[in-house]
Amino acid sequence: MSREWQVGIFGTFDVANYGDLLFPILAEAELTRRLGTITLHRFSYHGKTPSEWPYEVTSLSRLPDIAGQLDGVLIGGGFIVRFDKLVASGYYPPDAAIHHPTGYWLTPALIALQHGIPLIWNAPGMHCNDIPPWAAPLVQLTLEHSPHIRVRDALSQSALAQLSPTAQVEVLPDTAFGLPRLLDPQSPSAPFLELCSSAGLTQPYLVVHAMWGLNSFLQLWQTHAGQFEDVQLLLLPIGPVLGDHESVLGDGLARARCLPFWPEPLLLAELLAHAEGVIGHSYHLAISALAFGVPIFCSADLGTGKYTALPSHGRIFQLCRDQPIDPQWFRAQLGKQPVSQVTADAMVQIDAHWDRVAELIREGRRPTQPALNRYWQALPGVLEDLHSLLESQAAERQHEREQHQQALETLYRSNSFKLTAPLRHLRRTLNKWLGALRHD
The confidence band for 379, taking pLDDT boundaries of 50, 70 and 90, is confident
When mean pLDDT is compared over 124-128, 381-385, 435-439, the highest value belongs to: 124-128
pLDDT of 378 > 70? The answer is yes
Q: Specify the pLDDT at position 54.
A: 97
What whole-number distance in Å separates Cα of residue 358 and Cα of residue 35? 7
Residue 350 · residue 178 · CB < 8 Å: yes
Taking residues 107-115, what's their average pLDDT?
97
Tell which wins on pLDDT, 426 or 396: 396
Contact 16, 44 (CB under 8 A): no
pLDDT in tens, 329-350: 999 999 999 999 999 999 999 9
What are φ and ψ of residue 5, in 5° steps? -85, 145
CA-derived radius of gyration, the chain: 28
402 vs 227: which has the higher pLDDT: 227
pLDDT for residue 33: 97
Inform me whether the pLDDT recorded for 205 exceeds 90. yes
pLDDT (mean) for 173-189: 96
- Whether residue 179 has pLDDT greater than 80: yes
Backbone angles phi, psi at 52, to 5 degrees: -120, -5
What is the average per-residue pLDDT within 300-323?
A: 93
Residues 56, 52: Cα–Cα separation, whole Å: 9
Cα separation of 270 and 268, whole Å? 5
- What is the structure's pLDDT at 423? 64
CA 213 vs CA 216, 233, 247, 249, 410: distances in Å: 8, 17, 13, 9, 59
Which amino acid type is present at position 164? Answer: S
pTM over 0.85: yes
Helix (H) / strand (E) containing 78:
strand 78-79
Instruction: Domains for the chain: give ranges and CATH numbers.
Output: 5-178+347-365 (3.40.50.2000), 186-335 (3.40.50.2000)
Q: How far, in Å, CA of 53 to CA of 16, rounded? A: 9
Report whether pLDDT(32) > 60.
Answer: yes
236 pLDDT above the threshold of 80: yes
Query: Measured between alpha carbons, how far is 335 from 341 in angstroms, rounded to an integer?
Result: 18
Among 47-61, 80-94, 114-128, top mean pLDDT goes to 47-61
pLDDT at residue 424 above 70? no
